[in-house]
Structure 1
Amino acid sequence: MKSIVVYCGSSPGTNQTYKEVARELGEKMASRSIRLIYGGGNLGLMGTVADSVILNGGQVTGVIPNFLAALEVAHQTLTELHFVETMHERKFKMVQFAKGVVALPGGYGTLDELFEILAWRQLKLYDGPIAVLNTNGFYDLLLQQLDRMVEDGFLKPENRALLIVAETVDEVLEKIEEYWQEII
């Protein structure tokens, strides 16, 4: 496992716990020599996780569309920063670099990225593990909705099982590592 994409909010949220978990994820990724791949921003949880990886001696690759970089939200101290034209290019380039995906709390953008990569996984366009870090029960209602989709016949149980759920940073990193050990 060399790199993980992290999807998360460009806002810090209202609960300090989310920022603390983003910081912890960054620290533990750096300590395990896991490169962070993310959206390249310096705001919110995105900036927190990137700063934490950097402060702990880790490597960070950002991918940001030019229109967002022009708004001065691009992080300036990353290991590398790639500029793309569209959000679609950004999402594609991010997962090209990654051996796993973790979603922290976030808004529409986080959910967009999470569901697109799940659809890609279902269609076998991406083969890595995909997880949500369910901090403070943030994803509980979403997980209930996914179960409802299975119950009502819109989502196959094996596709529902593509989403790994973890409650702690250690658990999410261990589950991603276990995924690759089972494949090999």
Structure 2
Amino acid sequence: MSATLNAFLRSACEGREASVRVRVAHLYGDYVQFCGAQKLRPVQRNKFGRLLRKEGLTVTMDDSGATWVTGAVFVLELPSGLDLADRTALRLIAQELARQRTVEGFAAEADGAVNDHGDLEMAGGCYLLNAGTTDKERKEFPAGEPCDLWPWLPKWWKPKSRLRDSVRGAALGAAGIAVRLRRGEG
């Protein structure tokens, strides 16, 4: 493993912002080696660049034809005892909250205004309830027709699959928790 990549991984594992510029071939080889040690199946090499771009890293080719990846990674420190599915679930929740911020335009600063009465948690709870109901019960609350607990206009009720509703509900709950933390609630 290169010294640059080793320093990057050490910073990332310590929970600090880390930035790296490394050849993709080196990164892919280290990734395959890591997957082998963890008994995980790596993605195919031809999909690796797309995976890096999806993670927000920049993949470029220089004049000599070498492919490089550059980017910053923010690591969320997680307690021990979580398996791969737990970590993936938390990642999906974080990605959904980021999507709500960047794509939907719901800024963190505005969350406090809409959460005076726990609206974020209520909305999150509605999605979580919907995820846990039977198919028959889910049909009673299609898009635009939420349950009576829904805190906002019906047009904002957009159920999807059980997994998607679970992730969306948890992300709304996390946004509500963040509002409470910003307010200094203990």
Give TM-score scaled by structure 2 length.
Answer: 0.25
Structure in which a larger fraction of residues adopt strand: 1
Give TM-score scaled by structure 1 length.
Answer: 0.25
Larger relative contact order (CA 8 Å, sep ≥ 6) = 1
Larger Rg: 2
